[in-house]
Structure 1
Amino acid sequence: MEIHVYDRNLRRLGHIENHTSLQWHRKYYECGTFELHCPVTAENLRLLQPGNIITKGDNKQEAAVIRGDQAEEESTLVNEITRNGFFLPVYLGDRLTGPQFNFNGTVEAAMHYMIGRMEQIPLLQIGAMTGDTTKVQFQATYKNVLEYFTKLAKFAEIGFRIVPDFKKKTMTFETYKGVDRTQAQGENPRVIFSESYDNLNQAKHNYSDATYKTKVIVGGAGDGLARIFVTVGGGSGFDLREVFLDAKDINKEALTDAEYLEALKTRGQEFLNENKIFENFEAEAEADVNFTYGKDYDLGDVVTVKKKKWNTAQNLRITELCEVYEYGGMYVVPTFGDALPTTIKWDE
């Protein structure tokens, strides 16, 4: 498999064939990452400079920027270059949402609106929407665009990506939705991961309720008894986990009373969404055993996962997919379900 290298203006610089390892980590709600290992040669050093862009094989739908921790190592055992980086949406992490604004509409429209008002990214254009109708209402001031997009994507359960066009020298922001391939539905071909299908190897089940909350009291404008509060969620007895959330940063003067209360409620619901029970399965899967990766299932699809030994069967979204290329072979490591909690918060 060839790795093609381009400069940041999408001009081709060359290709690498002699890599020893590539981990291509795709993510549905976030910016993907990669790690590449190859021999130290003059040509590889010339090509693999920070800021350059790489793609793999014939797949030009995804590309990544060399950025972050890089290394060259020489010893009696190894003589290799290590390169790390992020998929093209990393450029959104270099931008802020700008001065305060209020938004009330669909999640996809919010993403397009923020791209339109942030400082322009060279070559970037906006593609079509999927038609998802999930609505959101919020107020933001100088937030990191990529972090906000991650939260919006999780809220609506849609993915986003930036697709390069190396001929036209453009990059297009797109949203997309995974396909329901669960056992219970009958519209699409079913995809099942289990021991009986021999495609659920080295499985690991993760569960975390460390940040789980059921009820949030959102505090808005005012002080003391005159302060505005709204309650989102509920629960009782041992099942109640409540928390206070300060939302004074939401500017009441820019909204009607009804809009302001709705913005506080939205902030509370977003907090609960970010502090739910997180559960996922990680497993190593052969790319063409029973179901062919990229044809029968892909990133973002919802599939059925069964683990008889653990007495569990769940319908879970493929939120991450790590493609591993080593020793001339390839296998994939899908993550089914939610990634474990992050520390990103809407109210920061």
Structure 2
Amino acid sequence: MDNVELRVYDKELTPLGVIDEIASLLWTPTYWNEGTVGDLKLLVPMTENNKKLLKKGNIIVLHDGAADYTDETGNWRRGTQIRYRHITKDAEGAEQIEVQGHFLKKWLSKRIILNKIVMTGTEQQKINRIVTENHGTGAATKRQFKQFVILAQEDLGGSSTEFAYEDYTDAGKEIYNRALAGKLGYDILINENTRQYGFWLYKGKDLTSGNSEGNTPSIFSRDFDNVNEQEYTESDEGSKNVMYATGAADENGTAPLVEVDQGGEGIDRDEVYVDMSNISRQYTENDVEITIPEAEYKKMLAAATADALEDYGETVSFTAIINITSNLKYGEDFNLGDRVTCIEKNWGIRIDVRITAVCLAYQNGTKEIEATLGESLPTLIQQIRKVR
């Protein structure tokens, strides 16, 4: 792990130093998940330097290969914030420090959507508006993130839909929902030279075997010796293909009902109902209360229902431990968020899936990469949406 370096900063991005010897490091960025404590897991020997650097609230930036994003101001990299610290001493007197933290995208949940947003636009436009008005220059001064910019973006495509964001919604969760709907990745990156944070919204490349964009395909298969271990899981438990939803009642007390139907008849039709009365018919703009026209309101309700139905899709997961000495190099031939092809002839599997998480594991002087392609299965606390 000679080329691996962990640089530590305070929240103002003042350089504090570099971590000494690393016993174990798990660095797990995700494409669209919100960020959670456990994204970073670090175990190091107790030294005066490490004890000084590894404090709650400090920021860690991994240097191991190319930057995540580059513009005219320099390189931008992902960072994690330390939120947990544990110190141990064994029977032989050896002391170790364990820290855990989350990627900085988790900070987006430090804000709520303070003012209702009613708009028509792509998921990219919706996300940028949420960030601008609640974290960036469009927010009140005391709500603005310091040293924060929105990084330049290309047009990420997608269809334009009507939508209304309820007042006081968790901004981070809504950004996650919009990113998932648009199949977009995002994070907050760090520019160590300019000492800035940058909101990064992007879309992974299509590297599947039949891609029409002219990209060199990335194909993962034991036949190509680029996969050491792998697991495949598919599940349609809890899946639904029809959703009924009711919105807020009008002045006569009548609540509109919408139906979103993905197809299916007889026993192949799986229905579910959701109450969407929290989508208000009114919003305030320049201190004037505005009522959304009935036709526009029903379009918004239908769009929200279609998004909610995505929560009930089938799940497909292909987890692979990648051979780092193989023909495909992480950060060069493929990246987090790219769509790739996975083939396992013995299992009769050939699928095109997105890389939704990458775990970089450094331990005992070795490096290992585990990629999650598609989605992990739903847990009791999170219903994972289908990757299309």
Q: TM-score range by the shorter chain?
A: over 0.9
- When structure 1 is superposed on structure 2, of 74-83 and 321-330 the one drifting more is 74-83
Deviation, structure 1 residue 277: 0.3
Q: Check 1:127–1:57 CA distance in 2 against 1; reply closer, same or farther (3 A cut).
A: closer
* Cα distance between partner residues in 1 of 2:162 and 2:235: 28
* Cα distance between partner residues in 1 of 2:303 and 2:378: 20
Give the corresponding residue for 1:137: 162
Show CA shifts across 1:193-213 (max 9, x none). Answer: 111012222211122323311
* Cα distance between partner residues in 2 of 1:50 and 1:218: 44
Q: Which amino acid aligns with 1:63?
A: G
Deviation, structure 1 residue 221: 2.7
Task: Indicate yes or no: 2:53 matched with 1:47.
Answer: yes
Task: Indicate yes or no: 2:120 matched with 1:120.
Answer: no
Q: Which amino acid aligns with 1:65?
A: Q
* Cα distance between partner residues in 2 of 1:264 and 1:344: 23
Deviation, structure 1 residue 131: 0.4
Give the corresponding residue for 2:297: 260
Deviation, structure 1 residue 57: 2.2
* Cα distance between partner residues in 1 of 2:339 and 2:280: 39
How many percent identity over aligned positions?
29
Show CA shifts across 1:57-87 (max 9, x none). Answer: 25551111112x3211111266311111111
Deviation, structure 1 residue 107: 1.3
* Cα distance between partner residues in 2 of 1:116 and 1:191: 35
* Cα distance between partner residues in 2 of 1:44 and 1:20: 12
In the alignment, which of 178, 202, 226 is matched to residue 199 of structure 1?
226
Deviation, structure 1 residue 297: 0.7
Residues 137-286 of structure 1 mapped to structure 2, 5 A cutoff = 137-140=162-165, 141-185=167-211, 187-222=214-249, 226-233=254-261, 234-253=263-282, 254-286=291-323
Q: Which runs of 4+ in 1 moved over 6 A?
A: none
Deviation, structure 1 residue 311: 0.6
Show CA shifts across 1:282-320 (max 9, x none). Answer: 111122311111111111111110112211100111111
In the alignment, which of 309, 325, 341 is matched to residue 304 of structure 1?
341
Which structure 1 segments of 5+ residues have no match? none
Q: TM-score, normalised on structure 1?
A: 0.93
Give the corresponding residue for 2:285: none
Q: Check 1:209–1:11 CA distance in 2 against 1; reply closer, same or farther (3 A cut).
A: same
Which structure 2 segments of 5+ residues have no match? 68-75, 135-142, 283-290, 384-388
Partner SS, residue 70 of structure 1: strand
Q: Which amino acid aligns with 1:244?
A: Y
Q: TM-score, normalised on structure 2?
A: 0.84
Q: Which amino acid aligns with 1:18?
A: E
